């Protein structure tokens, strides 16, 4: 039976560059300018129309947003900024702040990655009321699932034993779209509302640098004098910006089609148990149906494609599994993780559909991957997850690892039947036309292929180092 050749959409690989190879594009030239060496790097346009430019030291200093720029720097030098906009307090305040401090036009951008209709309601009105010239909205759900979630799922990427990378995978697809919008509207800068303590600032900015390093980046939380939510609310009132919040402490949430995260409030103390009314995507396992539900997940080349025999698009399939998994209390994770910036943070995640998908793919791999391949895949999956968590989606290493994952999972095709019951996911059945499992070999009965008597010689050879060490210790 021929092997399946299905390939997922992948990021184009970049040509290799050697600093001493002047003939190979892109070239790297070193030249002396007034007693100092500056590096220039030029690049041909890739299939995505992305130009790679490494700025000189002077140009690089202009693209950062450190505290020194509060005395001059970029302020007043920008013409148009594309802001990652959610309609919440922070981004609503950032709009007038950008206009006040940089004298620039602000274009708000919202990516629909499955955060829900409620969060998308009235965004244009809010953005313009805050002072934005326009709001650009793009539906990225299919791209998010097909080109970001599925590669991570296929790789088995899990950060620090638990986290299924919900926010980590969403940031590069949003940031990439921001770069595209900046080109469309003629913006010379991009901005985000990420704090200087979190991971998202890194994820956004590494994507900006990878796809268009000529764009200036503004990160207000690293510049302004606003220190918390109360300051932000006062600033909003002063500038007549409508914000639907109060000064009462609430959870900080991030939602997309893959997961819903909860941080802050009582969760900041790891000793506190989460309150049941916090959860939004799943019922408590105690209140889940008392009757289990069986679910057959069809998989092609390491990627889920169907539920109970019905093919669905990537986004539709995930949405359906979220509904089913949430009903059974599947996918709740409470963890203390190590942030990229060095501190520990506590978060609670709901990932019902993703938990089901991950279990199905893992179980099918038990049939289709041999021992050595599975071990190497598991080892690389740790690094893969680390790269994604750290915002290095467009890093050549992740892209190369993705090619490896795609190759070794080419035969991970078949179906897995799972039993969902009160928060648990258990395998009931697995089958694949490329299964390496042979009943005639694995059976306890003697067969023609495997002679049990052969095991004696194998054990003597395999255990020889152990035997020699014991002989040395006993003086034999």
Annotated active-site positions, please? 90, 171, 200, 252
**Beta strands across the sheet bearing 344-350:** 252-255, 260-263, 344-350, 332-338
| Tokens encoding 251 | 């959870």
Gyration radius of the chain's alpha carbons: 26
Cis peptide before 79 (omega within 30 of 0): no
Count CB atoms within 10 A of the CB of residue 47: 8
- Provide the pairing of β-strand 80-84 with 189-191: parallel
Nearest 5 degrees, angle CA 319-CA 320-CA 324?
120
The conformation of residue 80, written as its DSSP 8-state character, comes to E
| Tokens encoding 176 | 């990439």
Q: Are 2 and 410 contacting, i.e. CB atoms less than 8 angstroms apart?
A: no
| Cα 98 to chain centroid, rounded | 28
- Provide the pairing of β-strand 424-431 with 303-307: unpaired
Helices 166-185 and 200-211: crossing angle in degrees, nearest 10, is 40
Q: Which residues contact 144 (CB under 8 A, 6 or more apart)?
A: 113, 114, 169, 170, 173, 256, 257, 258, 315
The conformation of residue 50, written as its DSSP 8-state character, comes to P
Measured over the CA atoms of residue 387, residue 389, residue 393 and residue 399, the dihedral's sign is: positive
DSSP codes joined into one string, 340-388: TTS-EEEEEEE-HHHHHHHHHHHHHHHHHS-HHHHHHHHHHHHHHHHHH
């Amino acid at each position: 039976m021929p092997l399946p050749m299905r390939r997922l959409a992948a990021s184009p690989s970049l040509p290799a560059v050697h600093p001493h190879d002047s003939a190979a594009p892109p070239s790297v030239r070193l030249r002396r300018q007034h007693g100092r060496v500056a590096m220039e790097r030029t690049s041909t346009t890739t299939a995505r129309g992305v130009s790679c430019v490494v700025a000189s030291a002077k140009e690089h200093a202009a693209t950062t947003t450190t505290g020194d720029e509060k005395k001059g720097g970029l302020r007043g030098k920008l013409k148009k900024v594309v802001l990652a906009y959610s309609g919440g307090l922070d981004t609503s305040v950032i709009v007038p702040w950008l206009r006040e401090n940089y004298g620039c036009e602000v274009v708000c951008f919202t990516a629909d990655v499955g955060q829900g209709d409620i969060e998308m309601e009235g965004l244009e009105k809010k953005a313009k009321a805050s002072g934005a010239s326009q709001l650009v909205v793009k539906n990225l759900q299919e791209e998010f699932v097909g080109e970001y979630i599925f590669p991570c799922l296929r790789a088995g990427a899990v950060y620090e034993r638990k986290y299924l990378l919900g926010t980590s995978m969403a940031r590069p697809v949003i940031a990439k779209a921001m770069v595209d919008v900046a080109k469309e509207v003629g913006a010379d800068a991009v901005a985000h509302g990420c704090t200087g303590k979190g991971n998202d600032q890194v994820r956004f900015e590494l994507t900006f640098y990878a796809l268009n390093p000529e764009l200036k980046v503004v990160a207000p939380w690293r510049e302004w004098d606003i220190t918390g939510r109360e300051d932000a609310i006062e600033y909003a009132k002063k500038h007549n910006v409508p914000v639907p919040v109060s000064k009462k402490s609430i959870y900080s949430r991030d939602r997309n089609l893959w997961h819903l995260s909860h941080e802050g409030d009582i969760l900041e103390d790891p000793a506190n148990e989460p309150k049941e009314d916090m959860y939004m995507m799943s019922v408590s396992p105690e209140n889940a149906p008392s009757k289990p539900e069986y679910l057959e997940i069809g998989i092609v080349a390491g990627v889920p494609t169907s539920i109970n025999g019905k093919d669905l698009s990537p986004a539709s399939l995930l949405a359906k599994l979220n509904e089913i998994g949430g009903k059974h209390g599947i996918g709740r994770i409470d963890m203390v993780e190590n942030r990229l910036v060095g501190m520990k943070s506590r978060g609670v995640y709901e990932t019902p559909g993703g938990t089901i998908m991950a279990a199905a793919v893992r179980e099918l791999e038990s049939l289709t991957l041999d021992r050595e391949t599975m071990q190497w895949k598991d080892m690389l999956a740790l690094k893969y997850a680390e790269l994604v968590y750290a915002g290095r989606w467009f890093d050549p290493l992740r892209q190369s690892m993705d090619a490896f994952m795609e190759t070794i999972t080419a035969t991970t095709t078949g179906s897995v039947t799972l039993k969902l019951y009160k928060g648990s996911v258990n395998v009931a059945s697995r089958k694949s036309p490329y299964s390496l499992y042979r009943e005639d070999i694995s059976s306890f009965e003697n067969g023609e292929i495997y002679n049990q008597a052969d095991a004696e010689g194998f054990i003597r050879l395999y255990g020889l180092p152990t035997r020699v060490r014991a002989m040395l210790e006993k003086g034999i």
